């Protein structure tokens, strides 16, 4: 089904974003649903990315060395990939009892853009998303940041965020865009799960000033938007608030 939806996209597309645990829905029984990085879903992502010549990303349940991870996969058309393991596990629902926390952020590079990948509950913790100094050990493969340049340009959250707490979802997505002077893409699921929990979607794309470029409620939707680097650069130049940010480092254990 997801393959059909992706194949229905007619616009020129660089990146396709799927929700959190897109292949299973959110689950607290990873031992029944987990795959390995050689499993069927990752192989499907490789094939789809190669066939459509896109970058495909979303999170799934991965088992590795006896541990379970809520893992975002950043799949390139050539079959290479990066991974981000969800740092903040939703203890309110017991996620911390079943999944291992990630320890590193992943900031991917795409044609001059830097993209920070995060998952659902991470949204509630602004320090984890904050643009950091160049000496931070959490950014993979990127150097020369700090006050000379913001660390990343786009922040992506994939989620299973229920309607009962949707006000927080919308408010925090706006906050992350404004405080980090970046585009924010929040992709949330819709419909009801097996526990009768309703998800209203309300996926959003937000510009660095907090202006909402796209949102949709209670309707499954496929939407394409083109982000303008010139718009981002202009905002950062006109309002260089990022230069006044506090220096800090993040350490994860």
d(CA 113, CA 111): 6
Q: Distance of alpha carbon 150 from its chain centroid, rounded? A: 18
Please state, as a whole number, how many other Cβ atoms lie within 10 Å of the Cβ of residue 95: 20
Residue listed under structure tokens 């029984």: 29
Please state, as a whole number, how many other Cβ atoms lie within 10 Å of the Cβ of residue 128: 18
* 46, 86, 114, 145: the active-site residue: 86
SS3 49: helix
The verdict on whether 179 is a catalytic residue reads: no
Helix locations, the chain, DSSP H: 2-7, 30-33, 40-52, 126-129, 166-180, 229-238
The verdict on whether 20 is a catalytic residue reads: yes
Task: Say if CB 232 and CB 248 are below 8 A apart.
Answer: no
Q: Distance of alpha carbon 159 from its chain centroid, rounded? A: 8
Angle at 225 between CA 220 and CA 230, to 5 degrees: 155
Instruction: Name 115's bridge partners.
Output: 108, 154
77: nearest Cα among 113, 57, 51: 51
The verdict on whether 182 is a catalytic residue reads: no
User: What strands lie across the sheet with 55-64, from one edge to the other?
Assistant: 15-17, 55-64, 67-75, 81-85
* 46, 114, 120, 163: the active-site residue: 120
* Active site members: 20, 86, 120
């Amino acid at each position: 089904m997801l393959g059909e939806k992706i194949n229905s996209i007619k616009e020129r597309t660089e990146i396709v974003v799927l929700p959190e645990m897109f292949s299973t829905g959110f689950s607290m029984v990873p031992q029944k649903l987990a795959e390995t990085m050689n499993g069927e879903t990752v192989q499907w992502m490789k094939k789809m990315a190669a066939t459509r010549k896109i970058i495909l990303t979303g999170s799934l349940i991965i088992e590795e060395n006896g541990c379970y991870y809520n893992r975002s996969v950043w799949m390139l058309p050539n079959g290479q990939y990066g991974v981000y393991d969800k740092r903040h596990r939703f203890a309110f629902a017991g996620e911390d009892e079943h999944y291992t926390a990630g320890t590193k952020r992943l900031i991917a590079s795409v044609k001059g853009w830097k993209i920070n990948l995060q998952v659902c509950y991470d949204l509630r913790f602004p320090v984890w998303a904050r643009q950091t100094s160049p000496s931070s050990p959490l950014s993979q493969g990127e150097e020369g940041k700090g006050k000379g340049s913001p660390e990343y340009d786009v922040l992506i959250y994939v989620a299973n965020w229920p309607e009962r707490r949707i006000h927080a979802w919308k408010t925090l997505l706006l906050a992350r865009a404004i405080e980090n002077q970046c585009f924010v893409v929040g992709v949330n699921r819709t419909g009801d799960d097996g526990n009768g929990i309703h998800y209203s979607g309300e996926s959003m794309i937000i510009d660095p000033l907090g202006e909402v470029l796209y949102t949709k409620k209670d309707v499954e939707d496929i939407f394409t938007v083109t982000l303008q680097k010139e718009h981002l650069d202009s905002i950062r130049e006109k309002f260089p608030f990022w230069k006044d940010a506090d220096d800090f480092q993040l350490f994860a254990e």
